[in-house]
Homo-oligomer: A and B are copies of this chain.
Amino acid sequence: MARQNKSQYALLGMLTLGAMSGYDIKKLFDNSLRNFWGESFGQIYPILRRLVHEGLATVQKQPENIRTARKVYAITPAGRAALRAWLQEPVEAPTFRLELLLKLFFGPEMPVETSRRHVQRYRDEAARTLEVYEALEARLRGERPGHAGLAYWLMTLDYGRTYASGVVDWCERTLRRLDAQAGAGVLAEADAPSGAPSGSGRS
């Protein structure tokens, strides 16, 4: 029970990398973790406020006084303890929602060419992501040599690379399969407008 809020731990974790503002945290998510985690401002600011309220973080206005000033947050020992307690807990199994696969699963409802287009685009995106990872890895190794976290960051990056490269392979295999599908004379039927398919009876 008490469905734990993972976002708060994500934020606490970010603060272990150094004191920073909500804006900085957002940038970090977008630049470094976007392949496996993200948070929106609508989550970040309210949670930061709560963390301070609960004594897990502290704030300090940078220019002081000004209403829209930059606020720098830092993790407290209590915050670090809370984070560590969560890090100890077993990882919950992720639930995926892959729209591409959902659509592909209903392939008989569309022309093969449409499935093909979706898969092709997915492939291109994964290939681009792969390039971004190469660049990111080079940057990481260069910028922060010897940083305690480096080895771990590279592990998560390796995950992204493995994943993206697996996607590219699968897409290429699937494109070939779709071509075979199109060649097998399914095209004519798939192009049909909306009639009911042959076998709809329940067992």
Contacts and interface: CB of A to CB of B under 8 A. Distances in A.
Nearest to A98: B36
A22 B88 CA distance: 38
Interface string A142-153: 000001110111
A124 to B, nearest CB: 12
7 contacts: A36-B101, A87-B110, A94-B99, A104-B152, A104-B155, A105-B156, A154-B177
Contacts of A110: 84, 87-88
Contact of A6 (B90, B102, B181): B102
Contacts of A125: 93
Contacts of A45: none
Interface stretch (A12-20, A49-57, A133-141): A12-20
A25 to B, nearest CB: 12
B181 A158 contact: no
B202 A74 contact: yes
Contacts of A163: 163, 166, 170
Interface string A11-54: 00100101110000000000001011110000000000000000
A91 interface: yes
B202 A19 contact: yes
B96 A36 contact: yes
Contact of A156 (B104, B147, B186): B104
Given A87-B114, A156-B104, A177-B155, A148 B197 contact: yes
Contacts of A105: 13, 33, 37, 149, 152-153, 156
Nearest to A129: B93
Contacts of A81: 194
A103 B87 contact: yes
A18 B198 CA distance: 10
A149 B163 CA distance: 26
A125 B194 CA distance: 41
Nearest to A117: B90
